[in-house]
Amino acid sequence: MTTEPAGKTPLTTGIASSRRRRDGVPAAPGLDPDSARWLQALADDGPRRDAALAELYAMLLRAARREAARRGPRMQITGPELEDLADQAAGDALLAITRKVTQFRGESRFTTWAYKFVIFEVSAKIARHFWRRPTTPLDAESWDRLPDRFGFDPAQESEWRDLLAALRRAVDTELTLRQREVFVAVVLNDVPPDALALKLGSNRNAVYKMMFDARRKLRAALVANGYLNDGESRRS
């Protein structure tokens, strides 16, 4: 994680940086009152702007802590490390918002727009953290873990063994190389989509789209070979 220079915090760094970069933030017509207040305060000079930045940073920090607490335990990030991640995410989000505030067009409330920055920062930092100490190599294929993960009944072992064998054949024959890579990482190795997107130089939406397409192909293959009926495929 990045470290702030001695004597500086994400908030003070954000204030100084935003002052250097500010080009003026005119309030667009038709904005809701709260968004207009934010833009006018951020466009101001002096104490009013400083107060707005402090309020914005506090808001971002609360959101970062909530998001980090939601995602962190899965990555075994807890305690001071999780708090530091949230602090850094809030500080980086503040810098990004002050750089891009002139791009705000009012399609949503200002606070909704601002939250997207901090969610992105938390996501990116958690993804980078995962690859510093991954629990499973990306190219591993942990097929033996699937029965436990999916809660298959040991009494029906012969049935689900056949199903898993058919699924494995479909993964090998029906998916593109990239779809297979994504499926193996997410389903077999439990790699979080954010972390996988970072590793692949992609984004979370693209990973979800590849998973959706891969699952659709696999369902179709299992239906065609009699391992699922069409009604089960449509409901799953």
pLDDT band of residue 235 (cuts 50, 70, 90) is very low
- Of the candidates 234, 178, 236, 187, which has an alpha carbon nearest to the alpha carbon of residue 210? 178
Structure tokens at 233: 């495929």
**Is 24 in the same domain as 71?**
yes
| Mean of per-residue pLDDT scores for the chain | 80
Look at residue 26 and tell me if it is in a domain: yes
How large is the average pLDDT for residues 91-108? 93
> Are residues 165 and 99 both part of a single domain?
no
User: Could you tell me if 25 and 46 lie in one domain?
Assistant: yes
Long-range interactions of 64-69: CB distance < 8 A, separation 24+? 64/89, 64/90, 64/93, 64/118, 64/121, 64/122, 67/118, 67/119, 67/122, 67/123, 68/122, 68/126
Q: Is residue 1 part of a domain?
A: no
Range of the domain at 18: 10-132
% of the chain exceeding 70 in pLDDT: 73
pLDDT at 31 over 70: yes
Note whether residue 208 is domain-resident.
Answer: yes
The pair of structure tokens assigned to 81 is 């490390």
Whether the pLDDT of residue 217 is over 90: the answer is: yes
**95, pLDDT greater than 70:** yes
| Residues 180, 77 share a domain | no
Looking at the structure, do residues 87 and 180 belong to the same domain, yes or no?
no
Same-domain pairing of 123 and 149: no
Count of all residues that appear for the chain in the document? 236
Residues 14 and 114 reside in one and the same domain = yes
Alpha-carbon span 100 to 94, nearest angstrom: 10
Nearest Cα to Cα of residue 28 among 97, 101, 99: 101
Report the C-alpha gap between 225 and 130 in whole angstroms: 38
The answer to whether 93 touches 64, Cβ cutoff 8 Å, is yes
Helix (H) or strand (E) holding 85: helix 79-100
Instruction: Using the predicted structure, report yes or no on whether residue 227 has a pLDDT greater than 90.
Output: no
Residue 3 lies in a domain: no
175 vs 153, more confident: 175
Number of domains observed in the structure of the chain: 2
pLDDT attached to residue 61: 95
Query: Would residue 99 count as lying in a domain?
Result: yes
Q: Is 174 or 28 the better-scoring residue by pLDDT?
A: 174
Q: Whole-angstrom Cα distance, residue 156 to residue 199?
A: 37
- What own/partner pairs with CB < 8 Å and gap ≥ 24 does 48-52 have? 49/15, 49/19, 50/15
pLDDT at 62 over 90: yes
156 and 112 in a common domain: no
Residue 83 and residue 39 share a domain: yes
Least confident of 18-22, 48-52, 59-63, 160-164: 18-22
Chain-centroid distance, C-alpha 211: 15
What is the predicted pLDDT for the residue at 22? 45
